[in-house]
Amino acid sequence: MMGPLRIVFGEAFRVFFLAAALFAVAAMVYWEVWLGVHAAGGMVTRTAFAPPPHHWHAHEMIYGYGAAVLGGFFLTAVPNWTGGRTAPLPFLAAVAGLWLLGRAAVWASGGLAPWLVAIADLAFAPALGLRLALMLARRPKPQNLMVLALLAIFWSGNLAVHLDWTGVWPGAAEAGLRAGLLTLTALIAVIGGRIIPAFTTNAMRKAGRETGLPRTGRRLDAPAVAAAILLPLLLLAGAPEPALAGAAGATGLLALLRLAGWRGWWTRHAPILWTMHLAYLLLGLGYLALAAAQLGLASEVGALHLLAIGGIGGMTLTVMTRAGLGHSGRPLAAPPAVVAGFLCLLGATGLRALASFGSLAAYYPATLGAGALWITAFALFLTALWEPLTTARPDRAGG
């Protein structure tokens, strides 16, 4: 019999999906407390971390939660793409330790040298990227190598944040945070554009349907992916707002056109599928909202949270559920708790939009409500996936 820790650290999806969900709850609980104090008329005058609180919040959601999901997904998916072996337990324990070291360093940054915080936090992505590069070298397909390029852009965004925090590049954190978020959405455009129509096609064929299957093709896919990747690069390059608006608008329009051909309505009775389609819809709408914000027609903060909560949060929740169930040998049926959690994320998306687009009086109640729903969503995920992620596959229960 394998011990619980050996099981958890034995496969990437287990350790990183658990870490992502636990961190999603813990980091948001702290943010709720901080906001709650200010909503009540008080003020938090001292924090353990050095950056402004809103920078800490954004950074840890993007480069903390987001990075953990990337680690779990790619260290699980890439061996399947290449036919290679999965990462061994010592490597998974070491790279998970690097991720945790980064979270601890950023949290305690108020008492640490900024360069030391930067080194600790920036170590995870290169370690992950090196492992992925070694695996992808077995079958170096361009569409898979794109993952390494996006991981490099993601790391570059985090580097820009730390260059600001160390005083080397003042003001760079805003661009670095936005670039990191938009790199995550670009990864969803790339990976979601593969798996959503593929999973939907498989389900339709399993149901006996061979006509009216999801439509895919380079005519839409290539420009959609290119536009999504271009956007964070433009941000890091300091492109003017009209250029950002054009790139965001094109990305959103192309995302919605792709989605229209993926037969989302057919999946309405399969939560493990329609949650992906709906998250991708919110992604497309978020890009369009961002384009409007760059033209001064909408709230940029509202647009970014539409992308972050609805697009990234919704897609990662459902992908972690599907991968967690499938790779742990459980049936591919979304547990009711996860469906409820996804609906909580939809509610959180709406409330956070209200906080940004509504009246000033609605800001704190709506923002606190959105945070509470986010916490509930990932608590429900942990309730439903704890056993699959922490126990051996049923067909390997003997060890």
d(CA 182, CA 192): 14
Could you give the number of structural domains in the chain? Answer: 1
pLDDT band at 140 (very low <50, low <70, confident <90, very high): confident
249 pLDDT more than 60 = yes
Domain carrying residue 196? 4-396
Average of per-residue pLDDT values in the chain: 96
pLDDT digits (tens, 9 = 90+) for 301-329: 999 999 999 999 999 999 999 999 999 99
d(CA 343, CA 381): 12
pTM over cut 0.95: yes
Say which CATH number the domain at 296 has: 1.20.210.10
d(CA 223, CA 247): 11
Instruction: Give which of 117, 130, 131, 146 is closest to 59, Cα–Cα.
Output: 117
CB 63 within 8 A of CB 27: no
Enter the tokens of residue 151: 């991981």
pLDDT digits (tens, 9 = 90+) for 250-299: 999 999 999 999 999 999 999 999 999 999 999 999 999 999 999 999 99
